[in-house]
Amino acid sequence: MEIAVVGNSEFVTGFRLAGMKKVFAVDDSNKLNSTVTNVFEDSDVGILVMHNDDFNKLPETMRGTLSESVEPTLVTLGGAAESSNLRDKIKQSVGVDLWK
């Protein structure tokens, strides 16, 4: 399984420099939905990383689908709103709370 990162060029730069292969810079909010859909349907992707602000730009139905998805698991970072709790996402993916 691979990690995929979707976001604006500033957000994805660090991930690209870290050597991640599935990095998608989307500066046009019109292309965000189609890019996320393509990544979501990629069977090699186990974790999808997005900026919380970009996640909030997606249609409500897609946000719901991504939030409930186990594979790939969505991890949102940054933004003004509260980002997803990584611990909860890991618990959802593995089915066990690893911190207890």
**Residue 14 and residue 18: Cα distance in Å, rounded?**
6
- The residue type found at 86 is L
Q: Does pTM top 0.85 for this prediction?
A: no
Confidence tier at 4 by pLDDT (50, 70, 90): very high
Residue 5 confidence (pLDDT): 95
How large a percentage of the chain has pLDDT more than 70? 78
Domains of the chain, residue spans: 2-94
The residue ranking higher by pLDDT, 48 or 1, is 48
Per residue in 61-93, pLDDT (tens digit) is 999 999 888 899 998 888 654 434 566 666 666
Q: Is the pLDDT score of 31 beyond 70?
A: yes
The reply to whether omega before 59 is within 30° of 0 (cis) is no
The pair of structure tokens assigned to 55 is 């996640």
Helix (H) or strand (E) holding 87: helix 86-94
Report how far residue 35's alpha carbon sits from residue 26's, in angstroms, rounded to the nearest whole number: 8
Topology of the domain comprising 2-94: Rossmann fold (3.40.50)
pLDDT at 59: 93
The three-state secondary structure class of 19 is coil
pLDDT score recorded for residue 86: 60
